[in-house]
Amino acid sequence: MIYLDYNASTPVDARVASLVQEASHAYANPSSTQHRAGQQAAELVEHARQRLATAVHRTPREIVFTAGASEAAAIGIIGAMLGDSRRPNVVIGATEHKAIIQAAEAGARLGGGEVRIASVDHSGLLDLSRLNELVDDSVSVVAVMAANNETGVMGPVEQASVIAHSRGALFFSDITQLLGKGDTTDVSTHADLMVCSSHKLYGPKGAGALIASRHTQKALFPILGGGGQEFGLRGGTSNAPALTGFGLAAELATQCLPETMNRLTVLRDQLWHGLQELGSVEINGGDAPRVCNTLNVRIAGADAEAVMASMPDVAVSSGSACQSAVPTPSHVLLAMGRSTTEAGESLRLSIGTPTTESDIRASIAKLSAAALRVRELTGDLERFLDDA
Ligand code: PLP
């Protein structure tokens, strides 16, 4: 199996897996700090908080641990929308992840507001003048992702944050696909709220974080307050082993970031170079700055689902993983002006640190063979229908 679906999820790093295994012995509730067993579990969580804080250039008090980025987005976006009744509206980019779109829709429904969508251009870059028109003093939060999960296109976070702040709105940025693959210093400087996820950076599943200053945390309505854990924003017993793994994974991912970025950029470009031999191929988002590991290609005349079906030993995605179960065209590619057919001919290839040059060579061969087969069959079918 050649795995080129690292944007959907990543394997757990061996060092992280052994730490999670070790931490799973600390079974006490980290909130039970009256006894030593509880204190030990709490220490593990606090150490992980410190590690993640360093990785995202923040302080530990700014890390609110959650079960993943989707949960963190709901706490942050709905919390911000319900936190200020004079500002019931939200503005989001058209290519945001469904977790952000649905949180915005839920917040609007609960608070009686509306979701305003800022369009993107053909390369997936946010239209800043449209954003400027949409943000007014009825908007509590503006969400613009740092890196898109389908195309890898990186958002203009600094300019978007200036627009949000000029109208008194909070600026939210999803760094799930940037952390471990690009520098988060800039977004961390400009965003009031950020979300990220452990399983995208070689950590265990079921761990994520909302990142916000103490001041911003106080502005959020606590939709999941529960027993008061995580500074009153995410009630529920902390998953100490998973969070421990998340902390280490974030530390490792950011420690070797320059090497990772250089290596993956070279491999991704080799992949693109090899696929160009097919002819009539193009990169979705090719004109925009992109994260180092993502290549979203449209192969004209080759339906992506058919290509995937004819190379079952190559793991790629025809949209975002969350959408794959639903056969609807990618909202990201449609927002970029792709037709339904063009979106249906697009494949997301996302590489990761375990990817080798030989994986790239083999995937070029397999993908090209599969695409040519599909093009041929499509041609045969069209000729047959013409003759009939
Ligand atoms: N945001 C982006 C950009 C993602 O790629 C994903 C995962 O697909 C999420 C949010 C949701 O992450 P999680 O699986 O941790 O809920």
pLDDT given for residue 319 in this prediction: 63
DSSP 8-state class, residue 125 = -
β-bridge mates for residue 197, sequence order: 208
Pocket residue to mutate for ligand 1, from 174, 200, 320, most atoms within 8 A of Cβ: 200
Residue 379 alpha carbon to ligand 1 centre in Å: 37
Pocket residue to mutate for ligand 1, from 96, 176, 317, most atoms within 8 A of Cβ: 176
Relative to the CA of 198, which ligand 1 atom is closest? 15
Query: Which residue do the tokens 């800043």 mark?
Result: 128
Alpha helices in 116-256 (DSSP H): 128-134, 157-166, 185-190, 214-219, 240-255
Q: What is the pLDDT of residues 32-80, one digit of tens each?
A: 999 999 999 999 999 999 999 999 999 999 999 999 999 999 999 999 9
Residue 18 alpha carbon to ligand 1 centre in Å: 24
Residue 211 alpha carbon to ligand 1 centre in Å: 15
Alpha carbon separation from 352 to 103, 200, 320 (Å, rounded):
29, 10, 16
Token couple for 133: 């028109």
pLDDT given for residue 325 in this prediction: 59
Residue nearest atom 10 of ligand 1, based on CA coordinates: 69
pLDDT given for residue 385 in this prediction: 84
How far is it, in rounded angstroms, from Cα 140 to Cα 104? Answer: 11
DSSP string covering 70-96: HHHHIIIIIHHHHH-TT--EEEEETT-
pLDDT given for residue 332 in this prediction: 98
Query: Which residue do the tokens 């988060």 mark?
Result: 184
Residue 381 alpha carbon to ligand 1 centre in Å: 38
Tell me the domains of the chain and their CATH numbers.
2-6+256-387 (3.90.1150.10), 14-255 (3.40.640.10)
How far is it, in rounded angstroms, from Cα 16 to Cα 312? Answer: 29
Token couple for 295: 């290549």
How far is it, in rounded angstroms, from Cα 108 to Cα 103? Answer: 9
How far is it, in rounded angstroms, from Cα 206 to Cα 68? Answer: 6
Q: What are phi and psi of 142, to 5 degrees?
A: -120, 125
How far is it, in rounded angstroms, from Cα 44 to Cα 22? Answer: 11
Relative to the CA of 68, which ligand 1 atom is closest? 15
Residue nearest atom 7 of ligand 1, based on CA coordinates: 8
pTM, whole model, 2 decimals? Answer: 0.96
Token couple for 41: 């579990």
Token couple for 333: 């590619």
Residues of the chain with pLDDT under 50: 320-323
Going by C-alpha positions, the residue among 169, 124, 106, 123 that lies closest to residue 143 is 169
Which residues are part of the catalytic machinery?
322
pLDDT given for residue 386 in this prediction: 84
Pocket residue to mutate for ligand 1, from 97, 193, 201, 239, most atoms within 8 A of Cβ: 97
Q: CB of 320 within 8 A of CB of 330?
A: yes
How far is it, in rounded angstroms, from Cα 246 to Cα 199? Answer: 8
pLDDT given for residue 326 in this prediction: 56
Alpha helices in 112-152 (DSSP H): 128-134
Which residues lie closer than 8 Å to 34 by C-beta, 6 or more apart? none
How far is it, in rounded angstroms, from Cα 179 to Cα 317? Answer: 20
Going by C-alpha positions, the residue among 100, 64, 97 that lies closest to residue 246 is 64
Which residues lie closer than 8 Å to 3 by C-beta, 6 or more apart? 11, 315, 352, 354, 355
- Parallel, antiparallel, or unpaired for β 314-315 and 2-3? parallel
Going by C-alpha positions, the residue among 201, 206, 123, 131 that lies closest to residue 164 is 131
